[in-house]
A and B are shown apart, each in its own frame.
Chain A
Amino acid sequence: MMKKIILLTALSISALFAQVKSSVEVPYIPFEIKMGKGFSTVQADCLMCHSFGYIINQGPQSRKFWRGKVNKMIEEFKAPIDKKDAKIIENYLFENYGNGKEQ
């Protein structure tokens, strides 16, 4: 019985310190994003910082909402997206994840 307890303790200690001894790999999740006009720009500009999960998760939204999001990425998070691309992304988001309302 004693032997068993010692063995268990030894096992649990090694398990405790063995968790992240080598590099971890975060899985890639293929979020199902809609294809549409401007998608390649979205892919190039948005995916640098975050997965498509962030987009899909917002649900259908107004053009104003999506424009605000794109602006936030540029102004607050300093994403290097020029005005032309910003408009393309806004249009893509509204066309594919819009609720039909401008405001």
Chain B
Amino acid sequence: MKRRDFFKTSIAASAAVLGSTSLAAGETHQPNETRKVSKYAFPEKRPLITYSDRPPLLETPLSVFTEEFTPNDQFFVRWHLPDIPTYIDPDTYTIHINGFVKKELKISIADLKRDFEQVEVNAVVQCGGNSRSAFTPIPGGIQWGSGAMGCARWKGVRLKDILDKAGLLEGAKWIGFNGREKAAYYKTPNFVRELELDELDDHVIVAYEMNGEDLPYLNGYPLRLVLPGYYSDSWVKMLSNITVTDKYKSLFFMDKAYRVPDNECECETPENKAKKTKPITIMNVKSVIGYPENGAKIYHNSQVVVRGVAWDGGYGIHKVLISIDDGKTWEEATLKEDMGRYAYRAFLFGFKPKKYGKLNIMAKAVNSLGEEQPLSKDIGWNRGGYKYNGIQVVNVEVV
């Protein structure tokens, strides 16, 4: 390349960079973690951060995320449609398996517990819009802080075993999942999720138990799909139908919702939206600090132990780094026991604050592929406010 040509291209390239930054009215910052729990408790739950009662939308306070597993009564809740059955009879409840199968099946909960191998998987379930309040301008949707997630021990039956029993017909390619939540209007699209059969592995289960108890009603009693590594939009609750097809069906909740720009940064600007989008699917690497909380006062020269959890889409957490000097230096936190590659990895980090005044504590998770969390400001905007995984900054005061 001639020197002159080089200059030409580099000017064009820098113009493009400038162009995109000046266009980027979109800006990303720390999510809003200031909301307090409501005074109202929902069924089987403690009072949680409450965005809506119909459909129920509840967020777990950040302080809960210091352990590998999230208690059922503090586990977040997210439904899509207003009409959820208020009574389920576990003796008569069945799931229906139909479509491209040799034998249609109706399976009761008792059948599931008796006729199939019982398996357990530890897995994080996180809303694709978790931490959405980090994005400006506000993308439509619930302005979650970072508590639209939890990790549980799920017990149930492999989806594969259920499908084997029904027998897949040749040409079976897609699998649709529908739950019992209903819209107010007949014409409103059902919350059906579709997955390609190739995507499913042995870790995908139909679960009836969560942390050693029946699924809480608001977490999908009596059965829900558990898809380790995937965002929760596909973890269909009150699962009632599994339908195998040869073709992809066009559905609102698949084609319009829960999608990000189909480019490398998965980002766009409010003025210049990406034309192509893709489903959110696998979770990226992320961590949150459960203790201390924003605004906390900690004592000078005292032994402070920072605690939190880190996770990704199933590659496993390699390390968690902590900074107490605004990101200048990073030190490795101690990782607690590995509860499985889909579960939270709890971490802790002890230090003695030596300076009085304001102090920022940051946590950055790195997974086994070497992928690490970016700073908030380096995360590009997207219209749905999905997949935020910025490094959390907790502001405390040393007194």
Which residues of A come within 8 Å of B, CB atoms? 16-17, 19-20, 22-29, 48-51, 53-54, 57-59, 61, 65, 68-69, 72, 76-80
- For the complex, give the distance between the alpha carbons of A26 and B77 in Å: 12
| Contact assessment for B184 and A28 in the assembled complex, using a CB-CB cutoff below 8 Å | no
User: Does B174 have its Cβ within 8 Å of any Cβ on chain A?
Assistant: no
Chain A residues closer than 8 Å to B302, beta-carbon distance = none
Which residues of B come within 8 Å of A, CB atoms? 38, 40-44, 50-57, 81-82, 84, 86-88, 90, 138, 140, 142-143, 183-185, 187-189, 212-214, 216-218, 221-222, 252, 256
| Contact assessment for A29 and B53 in the assembled complex, using a CB-CB cutoff below 8 Å | yes
- For the complex, give the distance between the alpha carbons of A50 and B141 in Å: 13
Chain A residues closer than 8 Å to B138, beta-carbon distance = 58-59, 61, 65
Chain B residues closer than 8 Å to A17, beta-carbon distance = 90, 214
| Contact assessment for B55 and A22 in the assembled complex, using a CB-CB cutoff below 8 Å | no
| Contact assessment for B189 and A20 in the assembled complex, using a CB-CB cutoff below 8 Å | no
| CB within 8 Å for A54 and B185 given contacts A19-B213, A29-B38 | no
| Contact assessment for B185 and A49 in the assembled complex, using a CB-CB cutoff below 8 Å | yes
What is the chain B residue whose CB lies nearest that of A18? Answer: B214
Q: Chain A interface secondary structure, helix, strand, loop or mixed?
A: loop
Q: A53-B53, A77-B183, A80-B185 are in contact. List 9 more A-B contacts (CB 8 A).
A: A19-B213, A19-B217, A22-B87, A24-B44, A24-B87, A29-B40, A50-B52, A78-B188, A78-B189
Question: Which one of A20, A25, A68 lies within 8 Å of B214 (CB-CB)?
Answer: A20
Question: Which one of B52, B143, B188, B212 lies within 8 Å of A51 (CB-CB)?
Answer: B52
| Contact assessment for A77 and B188 in the assembled complex, using a CB-CB cutoff below 8 Å | yes
| Contact assessment for B183 and A23 in the assembled complex, using a CB-CB cutoff below 8 Å | no
| CB within 8 Å for A54 and B221 given contacts A59-B138, A78-B187 | no
Chain A residues closer than 8 Å to B188, beta-carbon distance = 49, 77-79
What is the chain B residue whose CB lies nearest that of A59? Answer: B138
